[in-house]
Amino acid sequence: MKKIFILTGEPSGDKLASEVILNLKKINPEIDYLSVGGENLKKLGVKSIYNLKEITYLGFTKVILNIFKIKKKIDETVKAINEFQPDILFTVDSPDFTLRVAEKVKKNNPNIKTIHYVAPQVWVWREGRVKKIKKFIDHILLLFNFEKPYFDKENMSNQFVGHPLLEKKIENAIDINQTLEKNKSIISIFAGSRKSEITVLAPILVNFIKLMNEKYSDFTFVFHSTKEYSDLIQSYLKNSDLKNCEVISDDKIKNYILQKSVFAVAKSGTVSLEICNAKIPSIILYKMGLINFLIVKILVNTKFANIINIAAKKEIIPELLQSNCNPKKIFEYVSNYLENPEKIVEQVKNTQLILNEFKTNNSPSQLAAESINKFLS
């Protein structure tokens, strides 16, 4: 029986990996799996050698403070992979962790095929990184078509498969009147999926909603949360005494509510693709510690934080970062869009043009699964 070790570094990677493995199980059911994964892979019956939370760190300073723990986890993971002796090491995103593991594994056992899903953002950080990756990664699966030239340039085996968040998913209608107040327009709020993000953004967003309530009375604000941090967000809302807010953690309900929203305010990240795919206008927020920000300023090679803006090479979706990420600015931008429908139409039109460049004719997860299966034959 063929064997695959799946290596993820955070919940989003676990979700991406699970979609691919779900398709791979249909193509080739005779595969034995082991992983560093989370709840999504667990649902598919894939065992994880330890809890994903043990390696999920945010920001440069957090990584530096936990450097010895991370090194220990890298060594522990390499040992487990070597003992499992997989035919393929399938690494997903989180390059600062997964690629370090892959490099060590490949050095110990060159016969293990290494396939990486979600290319490191060489167009943001360091283009020269491709030369190094090529030495220990056999094949790379790309989410965005504009990434391909960076890898083609170095003759590195790659395939553009598209982004799984853009796969068409038909959601059954849900009676959201049981959850939300009737006759109110919905503004979706995404405060992040990590505790460190939520503790920074939730107080800012609460004060933004207070400003909105001073001017408008016809909105319900829905926080899209993970089950893990739903109570944390609820605690901020409870302390603020806001009555027109809800926290939703069920994925099906979240997807349906997003489709019914008139606007979205979101932490910068892949959720922006989901919002754009639902044709909902939005603004993007992000705020990090000063030291982290200064490090990013030095290292980052792009003008924008949002993938849509990066691909477009111009700001289509407003980005409120650092000092601009404050209640007053958010309120000004959101109210300006709501009161100028032509701006909403323009943003949605432009985001769709960019999204069309990201899409493939087939399911990205299926294409990724087919690509992996070829390496098993």
pLDDT per residue as tens, the chain (377 positions): 999 999 999 888 999 999 999 999 999 999 999 999 999 999 999 999 999 888 765 444 455 666 777 788 999 999 999 999 999 999 999 888 999 999 999 999 999 999 999 988 754 445 567 888 999 999 999 999 888 988 999 999 999 999 888 876 645 555 555 456 667 899 999 999 888 889 999 999 999 999 999 999 999 999 999 888 999 999 999 999 898 999 999 888 998 999 999 999 999 888 899 999 999 999 999 887 666 666 556 556 567 888 899 889 899 999 999 899 999 999 999 999 999 999 999 999 999 999 998 888 889 999 999 999 999 98
Are 115 and 88 in contact by the 8 Å Cβ rule? The answer is: yes
Q: How far is CA 229 from the centre of its chain?
A: 16
Residue 118 has a pLDDT of 93
Sign of the C-alpha dihedral computed for residues 336, 342, 348 and 354 taken in this order: negative
What pLDDT does 64 receive?
A: 62
| Dihedrals phi, psi of 63, to nearest 5 degrees | -65, -45
Q: What is the pLDDT of residue 375?
A: 96
Contact residues for 162 (Cβ-Cβ < 8 A; gap 6+): 143, 358, 359, 360, 364, 367
Q: What is the distance between the alpha carbons of residues 110 and 91, in angstroms, rounded to a whole number?
A: 16
What pLDDT score does 196 carry?
A: 84
Six token digits for residue 145: 């078509």
Q: Write down how long the chain is.
A: 377
- What per-residue confidence (pLDDT) applies to 131? 86
- For residue 293, the Cα-to-chain-centroid distance in whole angstroms is 20
pLDDT at 377: 81
Return the number of other C-beta atoms located less than 10 Å from residue 72's C-beta. Answer: 12
Helix (H, G, I), strand (E, B) or coil at 138: coil
Q: Looking at residue 68, what is its pLDDT?
A: 78
Helices (H), 216-363: 230-240, 251-259, 271-277, 290-299, 307-312, 327-338, 341-358
What would the two tokens of residue 357 be? 């460049």
Nearest residue to 254 (alpha-carbon basis) of 221, 219, 230, 225: 225
Please give the Cα distance from 20 to 92 (Å, whole number): 10
User: No. of H helices and E strands in the chain?
Assistant: 16, 12
| DSSP state, residue 40 | H
Neighbours of 323 (CB within 10 A): 9
> How many CB atoms are located within 10 Å of the residue 98 CB?
28
Phi, psi (5° rounding) for residue 54? -65, -15
The helix/strand/coil state of 304 is coil
pLDDT the model gives residue 304: 84
* 288: CB partners within 8 A, 6+ apart: 59, 200, 296, 322
Question: Distances in Å between the alpha carbon of 163 and those of 145, 224, 355?
Answer: 10, 21, 10
- What is the predicted pLDDT for the residue at 52? 87
Q: What's the pLDDT at 305?
A: 83
The confidence score (pLDDT) of residue 60 equals 44
| pLDDT score, position 124 | 47
**Domains (range + CATH), the chain:** 2-162+360-374 (3.40.50.2000), 176-358 (3.40.50.2000)
Closest to 260 (Cα-Cα) out of 340, 154, 180: 180
Q: How far is CA 302 from CA 143, 209, 271, 324, in A?
A: 18, 31, 20, 18
Inter-CA distances, 154 with 53, 130, 135, 148, 151, Å = 35, 7, 11, 10, 5
Q: How far is CA 289 from CA 61, 67, 120, 296, in A?
A: 9, 18, 23, 11
Half-sphere exposure of 175 (CA within 13 A, CB side): 2
DSSP state of 229: G
- Token digits for 348? 């949605």
Using CA atoms, how far residue 352 sits from 207, 273, 283, in Å, is 31, 10, 15
